[in-house]
Amino acid sequence: MRRTITTLVVGLVLLSLVAAAQAQQSEIQVLRDSVKQLSDQLKAVTDKLQALETKQATPVAAPAAKSSWADKVQINGYLQPQYIWRNNATDDFMLRRMYLNIAANVTPRTQAVVQFERIGGAKMFATLPVTVTSGDPAITLSSCYLNWKIDNHFSVMAGQVPTSFGWDEAESSSKRLPLERFAATEGPAPRDLRPPTDGLFSGGPWDRGVYLTRKASGQEPTVTLGLVNGNYVANDNNDNKTYSIDLKWKRGSYLYGASWVDGKLGAQGATQDRQAFDLIFHKDPTPWGFQAEYLRGKWGIPTATTTTSNREGWYGQVAYNKGGMATPFVRYEQFDKANLTLAADTFMALHLGCAWQLDKYNELTAQYTDAHLGITNMGYSGVQWQIGF
């Protein structure tokens, strides 16, 4: 009887423990379910918060600014006042050059360019200084053309366009070291009232027509083909057009080139040949710089003293710059003007000078020139201050 009661009590205790354990497991499961539910809710809130923060961190595009015509226009230029001491003529102050350039980038591929100039000075062997016109100063239109970039290699310029012939003639006077271009291109004097048969470009480097340029690609040269009136900035006065081709190869710091031009100059029925070829070599002064050019051709009208209008000119130039302000230079040139009297046939000149780049916009040049045209002394000394803007 006692054993039976004991067994019964033990059974009841075990049943109580089992029931308690089951109740506890049920409570744990409930807690687990609550924790999972809370975790899911917390994750949803966290994802939503991150989405809001990402949206706020994303920059909002500013409204497009209104474009203005002024944003498409660029204006620059330079002035070159000089003082010249001449060996056989009047010394004077000159506003030798003034250029004002206006370029409008009409579209990403088309640009309109307008350039105004004021050129002054005296012939270096003249008795009195002669300016461009009696209404000095005279402002004229030198360049006015459209530049169309066909693609990354080809472009077309049409209108009143500057030449790319040779080096000295094609280079801007703001970059040239000597005060004047070499005589075979524009004659042995500044461009005011210069004889039209003096240099190949005695009327200046501009002409009316069209130029097609292919920029250098790899080892190939930059090629420019030209078709122009051949009468400088005036309307054409004959039915002949002038053709030209210019090639320039860049090899590291060295540049080589060749140019050719063929046309007629003068009124219909009385035209003159205008043919020439040119070879160039150029290296920037780093620290030594070298430049040379050879020009040979036929232009002008033969006279009673000569039966040919063949012309020939050349120059060689050495410059030095070790990274400082000063660039000293020396240039020797010669120009055989076969259409003049034999006594005044050949122009020879030695130019010694130095250009100081004072800052980004200001440059000062001093030059001494020993020059003769036949027996005529054309020597001079000059100081020039150039300011660009």
Look at residue 165 and tell me if it is in a domain.
Answer: yes
Look at residue 217 and tell me if it is in a domain.
Answer: yes
User: How much is the pLDDT for 237?
Assistant: 85
Q: 140 has which bridge partners? A: 117
349 has a pLDDT exceeding 70: yes
Measure the CA–CA gap between 179 and 190, rounded to whole angstroms. 10
Name the CA radius of gyration of the chain, rounded.
Answer: 40
Higher per-residue pLDDT: 368 or 267: 368
Higher per-residue pLDDT: 93 or 133: 93
Look at residue 91 and tell me if it is in a domain.
Answer: no
* Residue 31 pLDDT grade (very low, low, confident, very high; cuts 50, 70, 90): low
356 has a pLDDT exceeding 80: yes
| Mean pLDDT value across residues 233-250 | 91
* Residue 129 pLDDT grade (very low, low, confident, very high; cuts 50, 70, 90): very low
Place of tokens 């020879």: 348
How many CA atoms lie less than 13 Å away from 352 in the CB half-sphere?
Answer: 3
306 has a pLDDT exceeding 50: no
| Mean pLDDT value across residues 174-191 | 84
Task: Choose among 156, 160, 186: nearest CA to 295.
Answer: 186
Q: Picking from 119-123, 179-183, 284-288, which range would have the lowest pLDDT averaged per residue?
A: 119-123
Look at residue 322 and tell me if it is in a domain.
Answer: yes
Q: 292 has which bridge partners? A: 281, 316
CATH number at residue 183: 2.40.160.10
Q: Quickly list H helices, the chain.
A: 2-57, 183-186
User: How much is the pLDDT for 50?
Assistant: 76
* Residue 156 pLDDT grade (very low, low, confident, very high; cuts 50, 70, 90): very high
Higher per-residue pLDDT: 118 or 259: 259
Q: Which amino acid is at 42?
A: L
Higher per-residue pLDDT: 58 or 302: 58
Look at residue 297 and tell me if it is in a domain.
Answer: yes
| Mean pLDDT value across residues 263-275 | 82
User: How much is the pLDDT for 42?
Assistant: 73
135 has a pLDDT exceeding 90: no
Higher per-residue pLDDT: 167 or 90: 167
Higher per-residue pLDDT: 132 or 278: 278
Higher per-residue pLDDT: 75 or 377: 75
11 has a pLDDT exceeding 60: no
**What is the per-residue pLDDT across 217-237, written as a single tens digit (0 to 9) for each?**
888 899 999 999 998 888 888
Look at residue 370 and tell me if it is in a domain.
Answer: yes
Split into its structural domains, the chain has a count of 1
Tell me the C-alpha to C-alpha distance, in Å, between residue 250 and each of 170, 194, 247: 16, 34, 10
Look at residue 41 and tell me if it is in a domain.
Answer: no
191 has a pLDDT exceeding 50: no
User: How much is the pLDDT for 7?
Assistant: 58
* Residue 193 pLDDT grade (very low, low, confident, very high; cuts 50, 70, 90): very low
* Residue 10 pLDDT grade (very low, low, confident, very high; cuts 50, 70, 90): low
136 has a pLDDT exceeding 60: no
Task: Choose among 386, 373, 316: nearest CA to 189.
Answer: 373
Phi and psi at 370, nearest 5°, equal -105, 110
| Mean pLDDT value across residues 253-276 | 88
How many CA atoms lie less than 13 Å away from 269 in the CB half-sphere?
Answer: 0
**Percentage with pLDDT > 70 across the chain:** 78
Average confidence score pLDDT of the chain: 82
Measure the CA–CA gap between 291 and 176, rounded to whole angstroms. 11
Say which DSSP state 376 is in. Answer: E
- Give the residue numbers spanning the domain of 290: 147-388
Look at residue 275 and tell me if it is in a domain.
Answer: yes
User: How much is the pLDDT for 23?
Assistant: 60
* Residue 126 pLDDT grade (very low, low, confident, very high; cuts 50, 70, 90): very low
* Residue 55 pLDDT grade (very low, low, confident, very high; cuts 50, 70, 90): low
